[in-house]
């Protein structure tokens, strides 16, 4: 089936029951906030763009295995690849990486074949998978000046290769739905601040660019055409605004996984209003969700005690939200009211999957 805007909306109405799933008893066993450092964890979304030992060592001290994600932005990809290889060698067993390919030569002869050779080279060097980024769908244009989506036939040989060889793909395709909403409808205060300051990235103001729905539909087409592709939609697959919508997509695409990187606040926004729904979602799909922080260490200036402290707080805050029922934020703005965000207190078995076991299985770590 090809996903168009119309059947995207139609499919979205097919609901999946999410409430009533989170009734845990003390016998399930729970972690405390203090267990954070003791439990072995994997952060599958970390950008370490410098060959510094500070963060791998810090992660190790907190029992974190880091997956360093190359991305077609910032430092040249060849340099990112070199750094990823060096760090994997320096920290065997606690540092891994995902490669990323350039789309600069898209549409030129040899693009697919050259990209596949680059993928092979990365996999031989130990890459666990590949990341594709939002430049596909939102920046890249073809010779006719049209935006190139991820389901473009020009990418088909590449995704065929990744599917055949069962090489995991992390897709950051699209952006949060808020990016396409007028300022007075944007849900999160942080998103409102960002798009007020950066109108150039606020897609609501750029109707000439692809719509939210068309980007989501392109990803669905990719997964429909490549049903065996091992795919993780990072940033909650840009479906962060609705656990029901994520559930619909996970039902339609049995090989699709999600990571929570940089979108935990969207889960919190929903759980403040309906905790049972969010806890029910993470319980029902406990085999399909992985932890990632989307931390970026871009320059040597980032390897400071202050940055370490910020990262520690973020990691601990995310853990507290998923593992405990303590207060995470005193005041989250929901419409005109301020609400207290408390944690979901998911059982140990669910935490072990989200923080470790799903990533071990998916990436073969």
Q: β-strand 289-290 against 256-259: which pairing, if any?
A: parallel
Q: Cβ of residue 293: shortest distance to Zn ion, in angstroms?
A: 9
Number of residues that bind Zn ion (CB under 5 A): 1
Backbone φ and ψ of 90, nearest 5°:
-70, -30
Q: Cβ of residue 232: shortest distance to Zn ion, in angstroms?
A: 12
Q: Cβ of residue 90: shortest distance to Zn ion, in angstroms?
A: 22
Q: Which stretch binds Zn ion (CB under 5 A): 207-215, 220-228, 292-300, 321-329?
A: 292-300
Q: Which stretch binds Zn ion (CB under 5 A): 178-186, 188-196, 203-211, 289-297?
A: 289-297
Closest by Cα among 37, 44, 115, 123 to 85: 123
Interface residues for Zn ion in 306-335 (CB under 5 A)? none
Tokens of 361: 């299985």
Nearer to Zn ion, 258 or 323 (CB): 258
Contact between 283 and 350 under an 8 Å Cβ cutoff? The reply is yes
Q: Does 294 bind Zn ion (CB under 5 A)?
A: yes
Nearer to Zn ion, 286 or 295 (CB): 295
For 34, residues 6+ apart whose C-beta sits below 8 A from its C-beta are none
Q: Cβ of residue 290: shortest distance to Zn ion, in angstroms?
A: 14
CA 64 to chain centroid, in Å, comes to 17
Tokens of 328: 């995470």
Partnered with residue 139 across adjacent β-strands are: none
Q: Cβ of residue 173: shortest distance to Zn ion, in angstroms?
A: 12
Q: Which stretch binds Zn ion (CB under 5 A): 55-63, 146-154, 201-209, 290-298?
A: 290-298
Name the residue number minimizing CB distance to Zn ion. Answer: 294
Contact between 336 and 40 under an 8 Å Cβ cutoff? The reply is no
Nearer to Zn ion, 294 or 318 (CB): 294
Q: Cβ of residue 198: shortest distance to Zn ion, in angstroms?
A: 17
Q: Which stretch binds Zn ion (CB under 5 A): 82-90, 101-109, 293-301, 331-339?
A: 293-301
Nearer to Zn ion, 77 or 247 (CB): 77
Nearer to Zn ion, 80 or 271 (CB): 80
Q: What are the angstrom distances between the C-alpha of 288 and each of 56, 246, 261, 357, 363?
A: 26, 11, 14, 10, 13
Neighbour tally for 14: CB within 10 Å: 11
Q: β-strand 327-334 against 337-342: which pairing, if any?
A: antiparallel
Residues near Zn ion (CB under 5 A) are 294
């Amino acid at each position: 089936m090809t996903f168009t805007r119309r059947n995207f909306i139609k499919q979205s109405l097919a609901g999946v029951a999410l409430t009533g799933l989170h009734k845990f008893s003390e016998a399930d066993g729970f972690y405390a906030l203090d267990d954070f450092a003791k439990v072995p964890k994997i952060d599958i979304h970390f950008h370490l763009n410098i060959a510094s030992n500070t963060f791998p060592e810090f992660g190790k001290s907190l029992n974190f295995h880091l997956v360093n994600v190359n991305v077609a932005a910032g430092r040249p990809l060849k340099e990112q690849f070199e750094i990823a290889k060096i760090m994997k060698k320096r920290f065997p067993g606690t540092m891994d990486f995902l490669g990323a390919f350039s789309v600069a030569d898209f549409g030129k002869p040899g693009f697919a074949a050259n990209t596949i050779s680059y993928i092979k080279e990365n996999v031989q060097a130990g890459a666990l998978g590949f990341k594709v980024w939002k430049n596909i769908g939102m920046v890249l244009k073809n010779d006719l000046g049209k935006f190139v989506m991820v389901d473009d036939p020009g990418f088909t040989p590449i995704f065929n290769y990744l599917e055949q060889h069962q090489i995991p793909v992390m897709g950051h395709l699209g952006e949060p739905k808020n990016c396409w909403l007028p300022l007075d409808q944007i849900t999160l205060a942080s998103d409102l601040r960002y798009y007020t300051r950066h109108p150039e990235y606020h897609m609501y103001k750029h109707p000439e660019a692809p719509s939210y729905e068309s980007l989501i539909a392109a990803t669905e087409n990719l997964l429909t055409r490549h049903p065996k592709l091992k795919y993780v939609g990072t940033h909650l697959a840009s479906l962060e605004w609705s656990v029901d919508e994520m559930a619909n997509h996970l039902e339609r695409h049995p090989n699709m996984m999600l990571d929570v990187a940089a979108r935990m606040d969207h889960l919190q926004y929903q759980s403040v209003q309906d905790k049972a729904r969010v806890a029910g979602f993470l319980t029902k799909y406990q085999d399909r969700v992985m932890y990632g922080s989307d931390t970026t260490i871009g320059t040597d200036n980032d390897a400071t005690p202050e940055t370490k402290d910020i990262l520690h707080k973020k990691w601990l805050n995310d853990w507290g939200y998923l593992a405990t029922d303590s207060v995470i934020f005193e005041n989250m703005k929901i419409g005109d009211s301020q609400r207290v965000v408390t944690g979901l207190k998911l059982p140990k078995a669910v935490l072990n999957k989200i923080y470790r076991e799903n990533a071990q299985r998916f990436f073969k770590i």
